[in-house]
Amino acid sequence: MRKEAITQESVLKAIAEHDELGRDAFLAKYGFKEARSYVVVHEGQEYDSKAIAGVAHTWDQGRPLRSDEFSGGKEHAAAWLKRAGFHVKSIKTPDWARDEIILAC
């Protein structure tokens, strides 16, 4: 199995299943948590990149990847989704309070 081998079609199928089930049910079904660093953006909606990439393997590789088999970071899920033609956005935010951000700027 090539973990990075996902196609645009398989990602779209994972997104469709996500939309059908809803976020919480989709994540629970496949054992993923909410994205911490990256989301894939499709038609204005944001999706948990690691969960979508892992589930996309169902159609390309015969089974979904488990959360512990890869990372959601820029070298794994985010990169795979970009190669499949999707926009991936960083959602990292500093652990600072509003006042600390203003002071730093």
Listing DSSP states for 2-70 in one string gives -TT---HHHHHHHHHHHHHH-HHHHHHHHT----SSEEEEETTEEEEHHHHHHHHHHHHHSSPPPGGGS
| Residue-wise pLDDT tens digits, 51-97 | 999 999 998 888 999 999 987 776 788 999 999 999 999 887 656 66
- Confidence bin at 3 (pLDDT 50/70/90): low
Contact between 56 and 10 (Cβ < 8 Å)? yes
Q: What is the pLDDT of residue 18?
A: 98
